[in-house]
Amino acid sequence: MTAIRRLLIANRGEIACRVIASAQAMGIETVAVYSDADKNARHVRMADQAVRVGPGPASESYLLSDVILDAARKTESDAIHPGYGFLSENAKFAEAVQKAGMIFIGPSAKAIRSMGSKSASKALMQKAGVPLVPGYHGAKQDNKILSDAAHEISFPVLVKASAGGGGKGMRIVKVADDLNAAIDGAKREALASFGDDRMMIEKYLTKSRHVEVQVFGDQHGNYVHLFERDCSLQRRHQKVIEEAPAPGMTPALRQAMGEAAVNAARAVDYVGAGTVEFLLAGKDFYFIEMNTRLQVEHPVTEAITGQDLVQWQLRVAAGEALPCQQDDLTINGHAFEARLYAEDPDKGYLPQTGTLHHLKFPDDASARIDTGVEPGDSVSVFYDPMIAKIIVHGSDRADALGKLQRALIGTEIGGLETNLDFLLGITETPQFQKSRIDTSWLDRLKAPKGRWRRVQKSTSEATAIAALHVIAKRGNTACLRAARSEDPFSPWFRTDGWHSIDLGHQDVRLSDIADTDAQHLVTATAHPEGGYDFLVDDTPVRAQLLDDGDVVIDDVRFAANVVSINNQITVFIRDLRYVFSFIDPASEGIDNTVTDGDLTAPMPGKITAVFVKAGDKVERGAPLIVLEAMKMEHTITAPAKGQVTEVRYKAGDQVEDGEPLVVFEAS
């Protein structure tokens, strides 16, 4: 048995923080790696040491195996944990780590090759008698071969990257006319994400569930499964909320799927943590793939089994036997994990970048928060926009669901749009509460106006708090202006609304985004004992902002968090959220509209394909430009029938958020 003294984590974000925490709890020193974009990231601050590995793009930093190995040698690390994504399922990297005399926290390179390739693993499972989804998993990759396979199994089909994961390089194709474009797009996305554009074609099973089994093997020939997780709640093939155990599982079905998963691991002499994924249709299940690494959703398995899977990985990699045998493992209660992302609901939930000016999670211990960010950190354009995973555990599914809802309600974020309201809205649907969902349910679901927006309509209390913030900001500005002036004690710089011919008042105008931008007039008069006497739309309110950030409204003191970015003010009080826009009289009348006909970039990214040129006439919905950002492709389409008059970028160009890409004239 080889002791691990120092561990390098070849990853970033919440998984790097997760591994660091477990390793340090075992007394193992930790080494982080970071790109220039992550130099101040939370995982860098948590680790005992940190080594720079390159600039922001993952292809120039986290995906450079030689640079990662050099960092491990430089810090005299004994082992490397790859996390998930990046190099975690790279067989050459696993071999290089072992050749360098270090321990790779994961399976052998042979197992990664056998099971990491979806096509190879399906051939192996077919030989072992595990049922497969009908499809093509061969080596020939020209579009005609793939197209013939799709027609043979009939539509709808799933075009899927052989080396993929996380929904990257995947397209559902319902009709034959869309097939070639889907194959080309999936290949581009797979090549950008995994460096491998090989595709598979599978029959797309509608209304099936995605159930995966956590398996573990050691170097002594022992294997166990740690039961199943239901990951059916997906949008665009990305998991949104996971739970364990899977609802509605019978003991017989659980045993059959568990045995099939263990047999799959045993077939390749698997060592470490792995996940065998199945599609479940009624009582029939079909092998999808095996992920030869730890999964994003592993915390729900930890919650129901009481085990630390990262510590299991480290012990098994060091040569120890599995901590438990199959009969020692039992299911305790129910667990959920919700993935909290920086996404804009007004832009079809496209990923967002920027600064998390305000980030607050529930204070109690009822929720586990796995995150790689803290208040003031940034969500970078270079990586996945995950902010955190919110994990809860309850005595049963109803108890756990209630805890998840309370945790989501108690989470506050300011500075970026997120899917927080979307997550909460999902948990309140009757279908989710009764577990009547499948893998395509969420894509079929129509939220109000295409989204959930749980911003409350303003109250006089919330409006007064927003006005307090505006007045405080005005006061700070006035004080700074006075300090820079030749007469800092002039009454013209007073911050209480003093005027030479007035009793002294200030007006604040706010619009309420939850009430169709209804406007509110707040008149504030300074109170002799501190604070202000407000008239909020003719309703009197006495309000004071205290030094510790609390507020007093009509003699009631409570905590309130206020986040102001540009002219938008968000007020968090009593687990509720109110959003106002400050109406600045000085900026009224300024025309901020963009040029008519400009189709702009919805986020920063790189142009990967341009389908049109100036003068082309196109139909509504025709693809114009493909933008790659945050490891996903986004197609800019024609908003109507018309003509392209100008194309401003070519493939390979980098663009910023809001940058005009195409000038378009509707017919």
Q: Which tens digit of pLDDT belongs to each residue from 478-515?
A: 555 555 555 555 554 444 454 444 445 789 999 998 88
Q: What's the whole-number mean pLDDT along residues 38-53?
A: 97
Q: What is the pLDDT of residue 623?
A: 85
Is the four-CA dihedral 138, 140, 141, 145 of positive or negative sign? negative
CA distances (Å), origin 456, targets 189, 453, 465, 552: 39, 9, 14, 20
CA distances (Å), origin 185, targets 152, 345, 661: 22, 24, 19
- Length of the chain as a residue count: 667
Q: What is the pLDDT of residue 532?
A: 92
Query: Are 441 and 299 members of one domain?
Result: yes
Contact 651, 607 (CB under 8 A): yes
Residue 112 inside a domain? The answer is: no
CA dihedral 442, 445, 446, 451 (to 10 degrees): -30
Q: What's the whole-number mean pLDDT along residues 30-44?
A: 97
Contact 560, 549 (CB under 8 A): yes
**The pLDDT of residue 549 is above 60:** yes
**The pLDDT of residue 446 is above 80:** no
Q: 553 is written with which tokens?
A: 């409204």
Q: What is the pLDDT of residue 387?
A: 97
Position 450 confidence tier, pLDDT thresholds 50, 70, 90: very low
Q: What is the pLDDT of residue 501?
A: 43
Q: What residue has token string 């206020």? A: 562
Q: Which tens digit of pLDDT belongs to each residue from 221-266?
A: 999 999 999 999 998 788 999 999 999 999 999 999 999 999 999 9
Q: Which of 50-54, 324-328, 626-630 has the lowest mean pLDDT?
A: 626-630
Q: State the burial class of residue 493 (Cβ atoms within 10 Å of its Cβ: 0-12, 13-18, 19+).
A: middle
The enclosing domain of 18 has a CATH number of 3.40.50.20
Query: Are 170 and 270 members of one domain?
Result: no
Q: What is the pLDDT of residue 594?
A: 37
Q: What is the pLDDT of residue 232?
A: 96
Query: Are 436 and 477 members of one domain?
Result: no
Q: Which of 147-156, 324-333, 589-598 has the lowest mean pLDDT?
A: 589-598
Residue 592 inside a domain? The answer is: no
625 residue type, one letter: I
End-to-end Cα distance, the chain: 73
Rounded to 5°, angle at Cα 56 from 654 and 167:
75
Query: Are 158 and 83 members of one domain?
Result: no
Q: Helix 91-99 vs helix 65-74: angle between axes, to the nearest 10 degrees?
A: 30
Separation between Cα atoms, residue 166 and residue 418, nearest integer Å:
19
Q: Which of 24-33, 104-113, 331-340, 350-359 has the lowest mean pLDDT?
A: 350-359
- The C-alpha R_g of the chain, in whole angstroms, comes to 28
78 residue type, one letter: D
Separation between Cα atoms, residue 665 and residue 215, nearest integer Å:
56
Q: What's the whole-number mean pLDDT along residues 158-186?
A: 87
Query: Are 289 and 391 members of one domain?
Result: yes
Q: What is the pLDDT of residue 504?
A: 59
Query: Which position has the higher pLDDT, 203 or 345?
Result: 203
Residue 121 inside a domain? The answer is: no
The enclosing domain of 160 has a CATH number of 3.30.1490.20
User: How far from chain centre, in Å, is Cα 278?
Assistant: 23
Residue 64 inside a domain? The answer is: yes
Query: Are 320 and 369 members of one domain?
Result: yes
Q: 379 is written with which tokens?
A: 């969500």
Active site residue 557: no
Helix (H, G, I), strand (E, B) or coil at 290: strand
The enclosing domain of 569 has a CATH number of 3.30.700
Residue 479 inside a domain? The answer is: yes
Contact 31, 72 (CB under 8 A): yes
Helix (H, G, I), strand (E, B) or coil at 188: helix
Q: Which of 293, 315, 339, 577 is catalytic?
A: 293
Domain count, the chain: 5
Q: 353 is written with which tokens?
A: 């970048």
383 residue type, one letter: Y
The enclosing domain of 318 has a CATH number of 3.30.470.20
CA dihedral 121, 122, 127, 130 (to 10 degrees): 110
Rounded to 5°, angle at Cα 557 from 554 and 561:
110
Q: Which tens digit of pLDDT belongs to each residue from 146-167?
A: 999 999 999 999 998 887 666 7
Q: What is the pLDDT of residue 593?
A: 38
Query: Are 219 and 311 members of one domain?
Result: yes
Separation between Cα atoms, residue 354 and residue 544, nearest integer Å:
32
Query: Are 583 and 616 members of one domain?
Result: no
Q: What is the pLDDT of residue 591?
A: 41
Query: Are 50 and 96 members of one domain?
Result: yes
Of 203, 223, 247, the residue that ends a domain is 203
pTM, 2 dp: 0.81
Q: What is the pLDDT of residue 364?
A: 79
Query: Are 195 and 213 members of one domain?
Result: no
CA distances (Å), origin 30, targets 22, 27, 308: 10, 9, 17
Q: Which tens digit of pLDDT belongs to each residue from 360-395?
A: 999 878 899 999 999 999 998 889 999 999 999 999
Average pLDDT, the chain: 88
Of 203, 228, 257, the residue that ends a domain is 203
Q: What is the pLDDT of residue 222?
A: 97
Query: Are 196 and 216 members of one domain?
Result: no
Query: Are 225 and 296 members of one domain?
Result: yes
Residue 126 inside a domain? The answer is: no
CA distances (Å), origin 408, targets 169, 381, 418, 563: 30, 25, 12, 18
Of 426, 450, 474, the residue that ends a domain is 450
Residue 59 inside a domain? The answer is: yes
| CA proximity to 20, closest of 30, 10, 12 | 30
**The pLDDT of residue 67 is above 90:** yes
Residue 231 inside a domain? The answer is: yes
Separation between Cα atoms, residue 72 and residue 293, nearest integer Å:
20
Structural domain boundaries enclosing 493: 460-587
CA distances (Å), origin 523, targets 471, 505, 566: 11, 7, 22
Percentage of the chain exceeding pLDDT 90: 57
Q: What is the DSSP string of 549-617?
A: S-EEETTEEE--EEEEETTEEEEEETTEEEEEEE--GGGTT---PPPTTEEE-SSSEEEEEE---TT-E
Q: State the burial class of residue 306 (Cβ atoms within 10 Å of its Cβ: 0-12, 13-18, 19+).
A: exposed
Question: Under 8 Å CB-to-CB from 589, ≥6 apart: which residues?
Answer: none
Neighbours of 419 (CB within 10 A): 25
Position 2 confidence tier, pLDDT thresholds 50, 70, 90: confident
Contact 530, 599 (CB under 8 A): no
Query: Which position has the higher pLDDT, 39 or 167?
Result: 39
CA distances (Å), origin 67, targets 60, 63, 64, 93, 475: 10, 9, 5, 11, 51
